[in-house]
Amino acid sequence: MKNLFCIALIVASLTGFSQNYQKEINDQVWKPFIASFNSLDTKAFMALHSKDVVRSPRDSNVILGWDEYFKNQQESDDRSKKSGAKRVIELRFTERISNSSQAIDIGIYKGTVSTSDGKSSSYSYYGRFHVVLRKEGNSWKILVDTDSSEKNIIGEKDFLAAHR
């Protein structure tokens, strides 16, 4: 009985540590990720990524390093600013694994784009993301970021089924 109690205590404490890491990741990465993406702030957005980042938007079948990722993000942000388009990204998680220096977050994103052409047109798109994070100094950084629409089968139902 004593051993069972010790095992339960260890599992409970490990779960608590994992939740603390996830709170740190939320505060240091995901909240500013969403804010900088939505506000088209390329520099703040890219500051959340490791200089060793590997970015792969798998639907495009490419792999980007930091420089290419920054360039693509800047071009996308500039196009949106020029056109007056607004975008909003939302994230929900399906799996989160973390320890004191590494983490893996998997989930579903929903992006919504609204144009400023006076027609109030907007559309949403969805995808599954897989992100590997690592702690660099005292800050969590995105090390690997991949996503895919999985041939457009990811949708609102998947997004709503994931955790906030």
Show pLDDT as tens, one digit a residue, over the chain (164 residues): 555 443 343 334 344 445 799 999 999 999 999 999 999 999 999 999 999 999 999 999 999 999 999 999 999 999 999 999 999 999 999 999 999 999 999 999 999 999 876 555 789 999 999 999 999 999 999 999 999 999 999 999 999 999 86
DSSP H or E stretch at residue 33: helix 31-38
Residue 67: the pLDDT is 98
The sign of the CA dihedral 71, 76, 78, 79 is positive
Domains of the chain: 2-161 (3.10.450.50)
DSSP H or E stretch at residue 57: strand 49-57
Q: How many CA atoms lie within 13 A of 54 on its CB side?
A: 9
